[in-house]
Copies of this chain bind each other. A is one copy, B any other.
Amino acid sequence: MAFKALLFDVFGTVVDWRGSIIAEGEIFGQSRGLDMDWAAFADAWRAKYQPAMRRVREGERGWVKLDDLHRENLLELLEEFSITGLTEDEIDHWNRVWHRLDPWPDTVAGLTRLKSKFVLATLSNGNVALLVNMAKRAGLPWDAVLGAEVAGYYKPEREAYLKTAEFLGLTPGECLMVAAHNNDLMAAAGCGLGTAFVCRPGEYGPAQTTDRSAENEYNFVATDFKDLAIQLGC
């Protein structure tokens, strides 16, 4: 084992998308006098994520970056939740809540330690602008912002993993995929990458039933990024 780069899933692994959307929703709701279940709103938005990417993966449509998929899904969602009267700018601002997600409490300290020894890159389905703006706001110290948009393929397609390693000039085996999702890690392992499961049992809220534990053999299983840093000798 001689890993040179750590490749990170971002939504759920690095940042708390659900808590962040709920928090912005509540502030927005108060300003509009809306009484809404923002957790349901966040979950419904996320539920449209995989089906939207699937249409791209399966070639039903050409490449569409995640910001645009998020916006298409948001338009449906606003209708489903009967939220009306937003201007185009307000819709754009809401859509960019994905650029303003907050990190988990251990994220920045953990990444900072890991950066001392490894190249840290994103391997996310988020597009570059989304990830760059998020990193700037949250202080995420990436060495490189890579992933689906740069590769031209959404995870879990093999090219997303393989091209990211290739951009870094590394073999798949020199890369360690870090994710809170078993399916992402299994896809990475299938491409020859190393795997680190980081447990994020609160990602989907208190009722989360999936990804509560490592369901396969991985190179590392960690409780958070600081634990991962310790296990990797950082």
Contacts and interface: CB of A to CB of B under 8 A. Distances in A.
Interface of A: 67, 119, 121, 127-130, 132-133, 135-136, 143-146, 149-150, 167-170
Given A150-B150, A168-B132, A144 B143 contact: no
Given A167-B128, A168-B129, A169-B67, A143 B149 contact: no
A119 B143 contact: no
A128 B144 contact: yes
Contact of A145 (B145, B169, B170): B145
Cβ-closest 10 pairs across A and B:
A129-B169, A128-B167, A144-B145, A132-B144, A129-B168, A132-B143, A150-B150, A136-B143, A119-B132, A119-B136
A82 B47 CA distance: 64
A149 to B, nearest CB: 7
Contacts of A143: 132, 135-136, 145
Contacts of A121: 132
Contacts of A133: 119, 169
Q: Quickly give the copy total for this chain.
A: 2
Most buried by B among A129, A130, A133: A129
Nearest to A145: B144
A146 B144 CA distance: 9
Nearest to A115: B136
Contacts of A136: 119, 143
B149 A128 contact: no
A153 to B, nearest CB: 14
Contacts of A127: 167, 169
Contact of A128 (B67, B129, B132, B146): B146
A129 B170 CA distance: 8
A146 to B, nearest CB: 7
20 contacts: A67-B169, A119-B132, A119-B133, A119-B136, A121-B132, A127-B167, A128-B146, A128-B167, A128-B168, A128-B169, A129-B170, A132-B143, A132-B144, A132-B168, A135-B143, A143-B145, A144-B144, A144-B145, A149-B167, A150-B167
A132 B167 CA distance: 10
Nearest to A121: B132
Given A143-B136, A144-B145, A167 B119 contact: no
